[in-house]
Amino acid sequence: MKDQKEFKPYIPAEKITPEFTVTSIVMGILLAIIFGAANAYLGLRVGMTVSASIPAAVIAMGVIRVIMRKNSILESNIVQTIGSAGESVAAGAIFTLPALFLWASEGTMEKPGIIEITLIALIGGLLGVFFMIPLRNALIVKEHGILPYPEGTACAEVLLAGEEGGANASTVFAGMGIAAVFKFIIDGIKLCAGEITFAFKGFAGAVGTQIYPAVMSVGYICGPKISAYMLSGGILSWLVIIPMIVMFGESIVIYPGTQTVGEIFAAGGASGIWSTYVRYIGAGALAAGGIISLIKSLPIIVSTFAGAIKSMKNNGTTAGTLRTEKDISIKVVLIVVLALALIMWLVPAVPVSPLGAVIVVVIGFFFATVSSRMVGLVGSSNNPVSGMAIATLLIATIVLKMTGMVGAAGMSSAIAIGSIICIVAAISGDTSQDLKTGYLLGATPKKQQIGEVIGVIASALAIGGTLYLLDSAWGFGTDALAAPQATLMKMIVEGVMEGNLPWGLVFIGAFIGIAVEIVGIPVLPFAIGVYLPIHLSVCIMAGGVVRLIFDKMKKEEEKKNAIISDGILFCSGMIAGEGLVGILLAVLAITGVDQVIDVSGDLGFSEPVGNIVSLVVFGLIIFSVLKFSLLKKRK
């Protein structure tokens, strides 16, 4: 183990450089809102979000170092610290809060107010940051050299490679611009269909692909393995389970359907069978995946929590005398946590009882500790946030039901508790990665922690409007915004409170998940593939294939890594660009402007011609990735 005294950060503790400036705060807030909105849109569509730290760092370096001609790596670090908070708040919020909108659409309860959503996101985000503060010394400093914190270390490397900041930033901005154009062509003026479907004569299955830049980019960033797991889940549900349901149940009514399977298929095709039956099977697989990931992590969870508490007792959490040792005071941390607990209890807009507030603080601190250490070991992408949320929802719903809090009030309270815990786990993991970046660079921890608070506040204020906008334009649980995790959370709460789920379908999915785990395939990406339409999985796989080609190239290692890295930055930009245009199109849909700019009716393409046009557009999107990575001119 390397002791803190042996480690020398890039900027020495005794050196003072610009860090927490107006420029860094304003840029960080803008990026927090942009990446928060983009990830909310992406997560509601495909059930996955992507890290915003590295794209935010690259943009910050490009603007501060190249455009503003300032040489301040710590200023850029504050930008990415604030900016990345938006992605984590969005991820925690979209996994749970849309359940309240789904219940409202069914007439079970009223829609949550924007103030309610904002307060839930704000409480979860602030608790995540403040729970992490006393853990910094134990996890970041004392275990430097043991816990790698992969994303935090990678982000530090990007910032240290500052001389390339301008070129890399231009790659991110190019991705944003190109994806924005393609998204507007596909879903704005509707020059071509965003989805191609091929059905089979005499066979109830279907296959096809979407052609969206962001969906393809997810496949490139996640890589070929994860993409293949998702596609295999899609093949199972769309080419095996759907045809079997139609074949064996064509003339009978199967709950929760109200018509015969044959009538459902005749009216809606394979999509009708998916929405009526298969999504419950997918939800069962997702729940099994979340619980399995939590069970597999239990040994490390227990040892992590015990080790962190022991380190806190042994090392203390008082601020050191050096600039690089200063944290927000532990007294401030305790006051803020107590204040947030009182807000949960006393503010009517937050549907959490006093018992619920205790559950949030106790379980929240436990999962914040677990999340902070686990992302240090395995990275943020392997952090079992959904498993933690499922466990929290089960505990909260059972406790609320036992205390007599049932019906709409009990269900909304359970989701609020689950939302806060989900955001706590997501933001504490993000905060620990950012503090690792700062530790390597020589940042002031206290300033980074304040930056995290600013990022949380900015993204919490934006997330309510974003959710309302997307729900008003397309609705959650639809083909446009499937909201898979939130639908799963809704089903879990309903299952415990009311017991009216089609448990047979849910258990089929759960046992599929268990079987997949036994043969050694990661359950969660596979289960997401089972749950979502196959068109998404095929599009994601296209990005995975591009990444596979790059990975297998026989080039010099340095050149190959540069090509792959440029592809990741370009795809990160494309996700942000499409997300922003998605938000713009939601505004146009609400105001009716989308009908004015729609040219699909004037063109009148036949289906074969329309499919060809869509495939050509998809080919151009893939070519743009090649153009800004493989074919990019380098010095």
Residue ranges of domains in the chain: 22-173+297-484
The whole-number pLDDT of residue 305 equals: 65
Interval 525-551: pLDDT, tens: 898 889 888 998 999 999 999 999 999
pTM for this prediction: 0.81
Best CA proximity match to 39, nearest among 217, 291, 303, 256: 217
Element housing 196 (H / E):
strand 195-200
Phi, psi of 575 (to 5 degrees): -65, -45
The whole-number pLDDT of residue 8 equals: 86
Ranges of the chain whose pLDDT falls below 50: 1-4, 163, 165, 316-319
Q: Could you give the CA distance from residue 443 to residue 445 in angstroms, rounded to a whole number?
A: 6
Residue 629 burial by Cβ neighbours in a 10 Å radius (0-12, 13-18, 19+): buried
Number of neighbours of residue 157 by Cβ within 10 angstroms = 13
According to DSSP, the residues that pair with 197 across neighbouring strands are 208
Contact criterion met (CB below 8 Å) for 230 and 525: yes
Helix orientation angle between 503-518 and 484-497, rounded to the nearest 10 degrees:
120
Q: Could you give the CA distance from residue 580 to residue 571 in angstroms, rounded to a whole number?
A: 14
Mean pLDDT of the chain: 87
The whole-number pLDDT of residue 155 equals: 85
71 torsion bin: left (phi>0), alpha (psi -120 to 50), beta (else):
beta
The whole-number pLDDT of residue 3 equals: 45
Q: What does each C-alpha distance from 117 to 98, 269, 466 come to in angstroms?
A: 10, 36, 10
Omega before 150 cis (within 30°)? Answer: no
Say which amino acid occupies 203: F
Looking at residue 97, the DSSP 8-state letter turns out to be T
Element housing 451 (H / E):
helix 445-473
Q: How big is the chain by its Cα radius of gyration, in Å?
A: 24
The whole-number pLDDT of residue 317 equals: 46
Residue 3 burial by Cβ neighbours in a 10 Å radius (0-12, 13-18, 19+): exposed
Q: Could you give the CA distance from residue 329 to residue 341 in angstroms, rounded to a whole number?
A: 19
The whole-number pLDDT of residue 162 equals: 65
